[in-house]
């Protein structure tokens, strides 16, 4: 997995505006957040899903990498904008000052806009230089604009902000997490599947796997915010409590949450296996790894 992360980071660096003719501060602000580390979970899911469908096809791998970079750009832009003073007002992210703390609010907004826009550029490069057929690339563009947009991640963030005072039940919380977290995970899996030429049955299995995995991931995040190691996680813990945020542990209790993560992970793996993929092993390992993570 570390080897894969290295490959992703190398490609991300090359996909960056480092030698573009763009204002220096904008370029720096973009790089600062995009190269700030992190688990690179979503890109790894793109690559693993492509491999699950098409096994060791070199063409598939070449076509999948620009998509892997695209989803990391989307994820990074969302963190930059979410951290802004008008949104969650966070000062630290992955152990470093947040983008606007370093480059100012205006440049942070623009760095986010630049990354969001460039993600779509990156998808087109999978067709231009990675051998991905135009119709598959276009289906991935459509998916990304859906899952990252108002009906997806942006809608989840809006609901989160609008509901900050008033969330009382698990349904509202699930709406927020489905869109804030699961949607990009679902996108990653489906996009990898599309690169590999997945059937509609396989795409459905990947989608169901992603929905359940995303929810397990978010609950695990809530648990780690209560019980994790601040050094490993790289930001102040118990932030949900301080902000009086309604979370899964708050609504269900810690023990029930831990059991739910295990259950969701099992359900996710079963859903994946229903897709009869050529090589699902790495995705299954992923599900277990995410369940056991401590950061």
Smallest distance from the beta carbon of 149 to a second copy, in angstroms?
4
Sketch the per residue contact string, 41 through 80, with a second copy: x for CB under 8 A, - otherwise. ------------------------------------x---
Residue in 112, 214, 249, 275 binding a second copy, rule: CB under 8 A? 112
DSSP H or E stretch at residue 93:
strand 92-93
Site for a second copy in 76-105 (CB under 8 A): 77, 81, 84, 86-87, 104-105
Q: Which residue intervals of 150-199 are DSSP H helices?
A: 153-162, 170-177, 183-195
Q: Which is nearer to a second copy, 185 or 261 (CB)?
A: 185
Sketch the per residue contact string, 19 through 38, with a second copy: x for CB under 8 A, - otherwise. -xxxx-xxx--x--------
Smallest distance from the beta carbon of 179 to a second copy, in angstroms?
9
Cβ-count burial of 292 within 10 angstroms (0-12 exposed, 13-18 middle, 19+ buried)?
Answer: exposed
Residue in 1, 55, 106, 274 binding a second copy, rule: CB under 8 A? 106
**Residue 184 touches a second copy, criterion: CB under 8 A:** no
Smallest distance from the beta carbon of 175 to a second copy, in angstroms?
9
Q: Which residue intervals of the chain are DSSP H helices?
A: 2-14, 24-34, 41-54, 58-83, 99-103, 105-128, 134-147, 153-162, 170-177, 183-195, 200-227, 230-233, 239-242, 248-252, 254-273, 281-292
Q: How many residues bind a second copy (CB under 8 A)?
A: 54
**Residue 243 touches a second copy, criterion: CB under 8 A:** no
**Residue the block writes with tokens 């990074």:** 76
Alpha-carbon separation of residue 193 from 39, 55, 261 (angstroms): 21, 11, 25
Q: Is the dihedral of CA 131, 134, 135, 136 positive or negative?
A: positive
Smallest distance from the beta carbon of 83 to a second copy, in angstroms?
11
**Residue 182 touches a second copy, criterion: CB under 8 A:** no
Site for a second copy in 209-238 (CB under 8 A): none
Sketch the per residue contact string, 113 through 152, with a second copy: x for CB under 8 A, - otherwise. xx-xxxxxx-xx--xx-----xx-xxx-xx-xxx-xxxx-
Q: Which is nearer to a second copy, 34 or 291 (CB)?
A: 34
Q: Which is nearer to a second copy, 27 or 218 (CB)?
A: 27
Alpha-carbon separation of residue 242 from 80, 237, 270 (angstroms): 21, 9, 37
Distance, in Å, from the CA atom of 34 to the CA atom of 12, rounded to the nearest integer, reads 8
**Residue 250 touches a second copy, criterion: CB under 8 A:** no
- Residues contacting 153, CB < 8 A, separation 6+: 74, 78, 147, 179, 180, 183, 184
Distance, in Å, from the CA atom of 25 to the CA atom of 15, rounded to the nearest integer, reads 17
Residues in touch with a second copy (CB under 8 A): 17, 20-23, 25-27, 30, 77, 81, 84, 86-87, 104-107, 109-110, 112-114, 116-121, 123-124, 127-128, 134-135, 137-139, 141-142, 144-146, 148-151, 154-155, 157-159, 161-162
């Amino acid at each position: 997995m570390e080897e894969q992360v290295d490959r992703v980071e190398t490609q991300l660096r090359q996909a960056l505006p480092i030698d573009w003719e763009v204002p220096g501060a904008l370029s720096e602000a973009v790089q600062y957040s995009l190269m700030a580390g992190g688990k690179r979970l979503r890109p790894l899911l793109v690559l693993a899903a492509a491999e699950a469908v098409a096994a060791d096809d070199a063409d598939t791998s070449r076509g999948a990498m620009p998509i892997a970079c695209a989803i990391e750009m989307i994820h990074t832009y969302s963190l930059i904008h979410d951290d802004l003073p008008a949104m969650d007002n966070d000062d630290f992210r992955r152990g470093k000052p947040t983008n606007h703390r370093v480059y100012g609010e205006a440049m942070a907004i623009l760095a986010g806009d630049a990354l969001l826009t460039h993600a779509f550029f990156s998808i087109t490069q999978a067709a231009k230089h990675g051998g991905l057929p135009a119709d598959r690339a276009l289906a991935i563009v459509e998916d990304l604009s859906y899952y990252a947009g108002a009906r997806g991640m942006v809608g989840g963030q809006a609901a989160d902000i609008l509901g900050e005072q008033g969330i009382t039940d698990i349904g509202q919380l699930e709406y927020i997490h489905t869109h804030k977290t699961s949607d990009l995970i679902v996108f990653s899996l489906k996009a990898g599947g599309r690169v590999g030429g997945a059937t509609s049955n396989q795409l459905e299995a990947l989608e169901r796997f992603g929905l359940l995995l995303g929810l397990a991931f978010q609950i695990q995040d809530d648990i780690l915010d209560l019980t994790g190691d601040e050094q490993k996680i790289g930001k102040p813990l118990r932030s949900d409590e301080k902000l009086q945020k309604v979370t899964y542990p708050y609504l269900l209790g810690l023990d029930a949450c831990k059991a739910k993560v295990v259950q969701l992970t099992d359900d996710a793996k079963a859903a994946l296996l229903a897709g009869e993929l050529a090589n699902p092993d790495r995705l299954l390992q992923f599900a277990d790894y995410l369940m056991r993570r401590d950061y």
